[in-house]
Amino acid sequence: MNWKKIGKALLFPHIAVMIILIPIATAFLVYSMVFLGTESPVAIISYVLAAYTLTVWCVKIPHLIKFFKKFKNENKYARLWQDDTRLRIKLTLYGSLLWNAAYGIFQLWLGIYHNTFWYFSFGIYYLCLAVMRLFLAYHVKKYAPGENMRLELIKYRACGCVFLVMNMALALIIFFMLYWNKTFTHHMITTIAMAAYTFMSFTMAIINIIKYKKYNSPVISASKAISFAAACVSMVTLTSTMLTVFSDGTMDAFSQKLMLGGVGIAVWLLVVFMAAAMIFRGTKKLTDEVQNG
């Protein structure tokens, strides 16, 4: 028996096998976590399968990086995406616009279905973010980044002003959430997925703010600020949900309110600081343009 060949086949299975393993291992793991105990033989098998799937994909990472680098350099559409900054910004902006609008409408539907102020208020908040993105997308459609700097600065400052108004509404939402002790309740699996999405969104928002700063375009900066604000609001809802779902009785109601209030105030101050910085920076650059013009 050729153990080396068997080991290689196990660590480097065909890509089709690796792709098939993802949904099977995920479904098996979720089923075990929801319906079976941790000591069940079936649950143990699901953990082993999930660990194996993760391992073979990690081993494959260097080959995947090499493949995507080759694809990026040789495929004309990938090169177009890489070289055309305006196209990349337009597509990401419209994609984010559709996502914010869809998520806002979904929250509104939850508010109507459950007859609750909380989902309805967050739906309005996300729809306002979508309207701001539409405001910026219209500019990108007419002008390339940096082509009309004065108009970009005006829209950049306007977004900062809108953030301040929206954040006043967010402060009221957080206040009433604490006052009435309202929280979001979801299934544990849904909560874990929410946590993964929220932290990924928060991380990507920070990376994109730094990454796109080199283009010196206020409209692009405003778009990334909107993504950052959306990630911050998601952090508030995630905190509220996790305090409810993972509560084991060791934390009393006052401590839960204290933690939720701390996260809410931190998010509120962060967005206020960002909005104030946008207004100050936009006004200063507009003033400099008038003086130098």
Binned at pLDDT 50, 70 and 90, residue 56 comes out as confident
185 contacts 243 by C-beta, under 8 angstroms: no
Binned at pLDDT 50, 70 and 90, residue 189 comes out as low
Is the pLDDT assigned to residue 184 strictly greater than 70?
A: no
Is the pLDDT assigned to residue 49 strictly greater than 70?
A: yes
Q: Which two tokens stand for residue 175?
A: 């206040």
Give pLDDT tens digits for 111-120. 787 777 777 7
Average pLDDT score over residue span 100-104:
81
Average pLDDT score over residue span 152-178:
81
Angle at 180 between CA 176 and CA 181, to 5 degrees: 105
167 contacts 275 by C-beta, under 8 angstroms: yes
Average pLDDT score over residue span 222-226:
84
Q: Could you give the residue ranges of the DSSP H alpha helices within 180-252?
A: 188-211, 218-245
Binned at pLDDT 50, 70 and 90, residue 123 comes out as confident
More confident position, 219 or 74: 219
Integer Cα distance of 273 and 270 in angstroms: 5
Tell the residue number behind the tokens 């065909």, with chain if given: 14
Q: Which two tokens stand for residue 138?
A: 């219209």
Q: How many CB atoms are closer than 10 A to CB 35?
A: 10
| Mean pLDDT rounded to a whole number for the chain | 76
Integer Cα distance of 205 and 227 in angstroms: 6
pLDDT at 220: 83
81 contacts 71 by C-beta, under 8 angstroms: no
pLDDT at 158: 87
pLDDT at 157: 87
pTM for the full model?
0.67
| Among the listed residues 129, 98, 95, 105, the one whose alpha carbon sits nearest the alpha carbon of residue 226 | 129
